[in-house]
Amino acid sequence: MSGVRFIVARPDSLGPYVERLRRLERSILYPLADGADHFFIDHGPEYHPFFSSMGDAYFLLVLRGDELLGSVTGVVRQVHRGGRTFQALYICDLKLAEHARGKGLSRRLIFEGLTHLFRIPALRRTRFLYGAAMRGARGDVMRTARGWNPLRMGRPASRLALYFVPPSKLAELDTRGGPVLPVEDGLCLGPAPGRRLEGAGWCTTAGSKDLQRLSTGSPWPLVHLAAPPTAWTHGWAEYLRACGAELAARGGDALACFSIDERLRNHIGWLRDAGVPADSVCTVYSLDLTFPVEPPAWVHLPSSEI
């Protein structure tokens, strides 16, 4: 596609583009209940707080004239593996207008974003890049990576099982015989320090990232159980039960949302045996320039940051 230009905006310079970004995301619908309902993602009136709460946010926009054709966001942040901490770039929120798809713009957006690693001094120390893709009927966003594409430089680092569960069901879990804590080193990609966890370890993204249902015109209420394995002091089973009990006591119709690496099979198996199967899958892709000898045994990316 010709005649396009790329702009890098920061939270303090994003204002002139916010309404166009919000119109673009309102036009992208996701199915619920096998298509009986749909939702769109709403990042709120300022757009940037969801991203800037995770780290140092950069917004790459592609325009033709004044028309916004697409965008991708990069968040510079610290991630942890074992006792090591290093700078990472979370590549997220890739989206294109419907009429601009299939014309190579997704590839150009990602490529343009990577070139900024070498143009912006603050990004030159980045040694780990990652992104997350929800899986749908046709696969995930990697299906767009035909031919040479910077996305192909990353490999699947993990598949995460995603759950959407009534808190009362978690509160009723029998934690006896629950899985033990993972002892191997894992890769912790969140939660960000900017999003405070409440109670036993949960948070919401209300106001900064809402899933707006078309049928009701209101947000789909979700509460995220975001604490990493290092915070499960009494094990995963007790963590889920404690969060469920707290949320059930609050009342309301919010669902508890959480993720876990599929390689932690004993955790997933225990929950399945308790009558709580996974509802969806998310794939984490990464490009690790720290060149580790072995891959991490597990990856934690909380549902609040997907």
Domains present along the chain, CATH in parentheses: 5-305 (3.40.630.30)
CA gap 301, 182 in Å, rounded: 15
Can you give the pLDDT at residue 249?
98
The two three-digit tokens of residue 28, written as one number? 């992208």
Determine the 3-state secondary structure of 223 from DSSP.
Answer: strand
Give the chain's residues under pLDDT 50. Answer: 136-151
Can you give the pLDDT at residue 114?
82
pTM of the model: 0.91
CA gap 192, 229 in Å, rounded: 14
CA gap 73, 223 in Å, rounded: 23
Phi-psi region of 264 (alpha: psi -120 to 50; beta: other; left: phi over 0): beta
Contact indicator for 117, 89 with CB cutoff of 8 Å: yes
Can you give the pLDDT at residue 135?
59
Can you give the pLDDT at residue 9?
96
C-alpha distances (whole Å) from 97 to each of 29, 39, 61, 245, 250 are 12, 17, 12, 42, 39
Can you give the pLDDT at residue 154?
57
Can you give the pLDDT at residue 188?
96
Can you give the pLDDT at residue 140?
42
Can you give the pLDDT at residue 189?
97
**How far separated are the first and last CA of the chain, in Å rounded?**
29
Can you give the pLDDT at residue 136?
44
Can you give the pLDDT at residue 291?
78
Contact indicator for 127, 287 with CB cutoff of 8 Å: no
